[in-house]
Amino acid sequence: MQDNLFKINETEYILPGSRACQGCGLTLAYRHMLKALRENTVLTIPASCLCVLHGLYPITPVTVPCLNTTFASTAASASGIAAGLRALNKTDITVVAMAGDGSTYDMGIQALSGAAERTTDFIYVCYDNEGYMNTGTQRSSATPMGAITTTTPILTKEHSKKDFVRIMEAHDLPYLATTSPAYPIDLYEKFVKAKRIKGTRYMHIYSPCPPGWMFPAKDTVRMGQLAVETGIVVLFEIEDGKFRFTGRSKTMAERGKKQPIINYVGKQGRFRKMSIEQLNRLQAWVDSRWNDYLRKAEG
Ligand SMILES: Cc1ncc(C[n+]2csc(CCOP(=O)(O)OP(=O)(O)O)c2C)c(N)n1
Ligand code: SF4
């Protein structure tokens, strides 16, 4: 993939006036995702920060049609839309189901897994802000070990983040990619590619969240960059079974270098009660995954 700022679609699909927080990583990613997918896109979303961003009918800053659904039925809802469009012989419309990590990792996994096994034709997007953020930062199975949430108020989260991307990898999808709003061109190009492919495509967006992760709103992009530079977030794509690093992660893999995880967790208030033992465990978790991906890239 070639970095080229000039080929990004100039049309805006989110107009000024969204109700998301200042510095929201999801909003930044969503803007570039819609630029890549363009007009002929129909969305289905459950309750979430994304739902709040969309606002209440008839006032919304988003210019593509969207169906609100329930958490557990997000992928089933997309399957229904895809079947309806097929019946109408409308083959040029991209169906997108988009949900947070709480909705995806915890509540929507069974409908998503079923649809993926049937290779239903839609793009599933999980924006991972590592908690139930819309309702005030409750713990999800995507919350990293050592983070404070409102449902882990005294002690930090003890268990490691569920590696949901690997669960989706096991479905042998035609296309799967991880992205970050801190690298918008990488994100844009992956969505352009996903749009062209048929079957179930899975896109993961790591979305820094200033209030939930407790960092200043101005630092969203830097936080996204640090996640990648420390290797806790890895940018890659798998197309027809072939794994490849992309963007900054590719450069890091080539140079054999990544930053220590303290450079990332030390900048977020949610990790302020993390013990040294947890920090070491998190570093070991990051190193182990990074080495697995290096092996995968070698083939
Ligand atoms: C069945 C049900 N339970 C609880 C809620 C309340 N609720 C609305 S949004 C939300 C959080 C969703 O978390 P996530 O999917 O991670 O998305 P985010 O809020 O982080 O965008 C919850 C619990 C609901 N709408 N429906
Ligand atoms: S809580 Fe986080 S994810 Fe939700 S709108 Fe605010 S910044 Fe975005």
The full set of domain ranges for the chain reads 14-298
Q: Among 111, 124, 160, which Cα is nearest to 139's?
A: 160
Whether residue 6 has pLDDT greater than 80: no
Ligand in closest contact with the CA of 29: 2
Ligand 1 atom at shortest distance from the alpha carbon of 103: 15
- Using CB atoms within 10 Å of the CB of residue 235, give its burial: 0 to 12 exposed, 13 to 18 middle, 19+ buried: buried
Task: Verify whether ligand 1 is closer than 6 Å to residue 132 (CB atom).
Answer: yes
Percent of the chain at pLDDT exceeding 70: 98
The answer to whether residue 281 scores a pLDDT higher than 90 is: yes
C-alpha 48 to ligand 1 mean position (Å): 5
14-298 CATH pick, 3.40.50.1370, 3.40.50.970, 3.40.50.300, 3.40.47.10 = 3.40.50.970
Nearest-atom index, ligand 2, CA of 217: 7
Instruction: Kindly report the protein residue whose alpha carbon is nearest to atom 22 of ligand 1.
Output: 135
Peptide bond into 58 cis (omega under 30): yes
Cα of 232 vs centre of ligand 2, distance in Å, is 20
The mean pLDDT of the chain is 96
Q: Does pLDDT of 142 surpass 60? A: yes
Q: Is the CB of 102 under 6 A from ligand 1?
A: yes
d(CA 137, ligand 1 centre) in Å: 10
The confidence score (pLDDT) of residue 102 equals 98
Task: Give how far the C-alpha of residue 59 lies from the chain's centroid of Cα atoms, to the nearest Å.
Answer: 26
Alpha carbons 168 and 66: distance in angstroms, whole number: 24
Residues in the chain: 299
Give the position, in ligand 2's atom list, of the atom nearest the Cα of 48. 4
Q: For 241-264, what is each residue's pLDDT tens digit?
A: 999 999 999 999 999 999 999 999
pTM above 0.95, yes or no: yes
CA angle 127, 220, 136 (to 5 degrees): 60
Query: Using one digit for the tens of pLDDT, what is the confidence trace for 20-72?
Result: 999 999 999 999 999 999 999 999 999 999 999 999 888 899 999 999 999 99
For the cut 70, the answer to whether the pLDDT of residue 2 exceeds it is no
> What's the pLDDT band for 15 if we cut at 50, 70, 90?
very high
Ligand 2 residue neighbourhood (C-beta within 6 Å)? 20-21, 24, 26, 49, 129, 133-134, 209-212
Cα of 71 from ligand 1 centre, angstroms: 7
pLDDT confidence of residue 170: 97
Segment 158-208, tens digit of pLDDT: 999 999 999 999 999 999 999 999 999 999 999 999 999 999 999 999 999
Q: Note the pLDDT of residue 57.
A: 80
**Does residue 194 contact residue 123 with C-beta atoms inside 8 Å?**
yes
Show the tokens assigned to 290.
């990074």
Hey, which of 62, 98, 103, 129 would you mutate to test ligand 2's pocket, going by the most ligand atoms within 8 Å of its Cβ? 129
